[in-house]
Amino acid sequence: MTTKDSQFAKGDTLTLTIDALATGGKALTRLDCMVIFMDRGLPGQTVEVKITKKKKRFAEAVLTKVITDAPDQISPRCAHFGVCGGCLWQNMEYSKQLAWKKRFVSDSLSRIAGAQDLEINDPIPSPETFYYRNKMEFAFGDRRGDITVGLRRYGTHNVVDLQECYLQTERTIEIIDLVREFVNATPALTAYDANSRRGYLRFLVIRETKHTNQCMVQVITAKDTTNNDQQHRAIRQLGQLLQERMNVTTFIHSLRTHTTQVAYGEKTYVVLGQKSLTEVLNFEKDMPSLSLSSHADGFFQVNTNAAARLYETAVEMAELTGTEKIWDLYCGVGGIALTAAPRAADVFGMEITEQAIASAKENATINGIENVRFVSGDVRSALTNEPSMPDVVFVDPPRSGMNPEVVDLIMEQTPKRIIYVSCDPATQARDIAVLGNQYTVTTVQPVDMFPQTAHIENIIRLDLKAE
């Protein structure tokens, strides 16, 4: 069936030319009055797709073959590109990546928030477009009896046995190579299979600092089912080997019994080194450097140098004078709160994770900042019980956005300014639609934290409307 045929059904194969990209990175084209969304691809490519869903006004498809490249397509750097699900835009020039991300922000605010004719600033580019990540999560797999280590194959749960990767550092692949060699030479070790729920090795998490030369390796496993804890003892030996040969400063072994495939352990043991890493954020503007400590399971922006741009931009957009009382909701380990503190009178940070709040308090001490308070717990409860009245509120919620009750509680406090940081323009726009009843969007500033992917961080400033 060709693009001239409008009567197609689920399961049909079509040949299409991609017209544009949708928020989140899906490709799309229009066939008569029908929009067809494809799971990937670039504008200008002629592709073969298989229809997986058809509704009244749109259809969904998976790309099965690229027939003709896009006119401005570039050669991807990584040999695993197209197979690995780690990054989908290595074949797009970086300036065009930024242009599409700006369009995603604009489309979300227009379509979801109803905010028309907003001026969207050009995205602040990442200082590095490769080797920028400070953390990556890898999975263990099995290929005909050999244990593989890598990222998920695109669209599946199978593991691509990585031989190269340009997202974290060159040392990352060296660590993966050493881990792969060790686990395959140790008979007691097996890869976990999610279908049978058998096996031992589940995830390998590598964290590195950009400015303090620290490296944390975390191996997440299932329970040891061998006699005399042979598997657990082998993991401790792996940690010692990594310390000796790769200068790993912290090695952690975590146990995960839940069957959900998430790189998080219910129990965590520090086998070697310190329990946390400390990174330094160097700001471009007139701000002192900030040291931030984070535990193994604590949240920290994965792009260290871009995080510095993000935090300083958010604080600058707030136009603080030194007299403001600030709330920082979903504060994590305190990055924004501690960046803003030297320019404010009082800062109150809230986060649901106790470990993150412990890190935030530690970070305040490390940096000698005294005008901050951090509280752990559900943000809704914390706001209800908080007596202070904020002048400025920073929010940096998870990808799902803010709970509607939190949005209502913020508006009840009527801060004069809200700085909303988000990694998902769509859920951010949903919340902006509600906040727009009392606030006016005055600045929209995307910040690229994730080169080679369709993800974009976005900062929006909202000012309280006049009575």
For residue 396, say whether it is annotated as part of any ligand binding site. Answer: yes
Measure CA 112 to chain center. Answer: 22
Cβ(425)–Cβ(460) under 8 Å?
no
Task: List the helix and strand counts (H, then E) for the chain.
Answer: 9, 22
Catalytic one of 84, 87, 165, 423: 423
Q: Which residues contact 248 (CB under 8 A, 6 or more apart)?
A: 175, 215, 216, 217, 239, 242, 272, 273
Look at residues 312, 307, 285 and name the one whose alpha carbon lies nearest to residue 294. Answer: 307
Burial status of residue 260 (CB atoms within 10 A of its CB: 0-12, 13-18, 19 or more): exposed
Cα separation, 251 vs 272, in Å, equals 5
Is 301 labelled as part of a ligand binding site? yes
Tell me whether residue 467 is annotated as binding: no
Closest CA to 454 of 98, 120, 145: 98
Cβ-based neighbours of 104, under 8 Å, separated by 6 or more:
21, 22, 23, 24, 425, 454, 456
| 351 belongs to an annotated ligand binding site | yes
Cα gap 306→328, rounded to integer Å: 20
Name the packing angle between helices 94-111 and 425-435 (round to 10°): 30
87 is catalytic: no
For CA atoms 438, 439, 440, 444, the dihedral sign is negative
Residues that are catalytic: 423
Binding residues: 301, 330, 351, 396
Binding residues for S-adenosyl-L-methionine: 301, 330, 351, 396
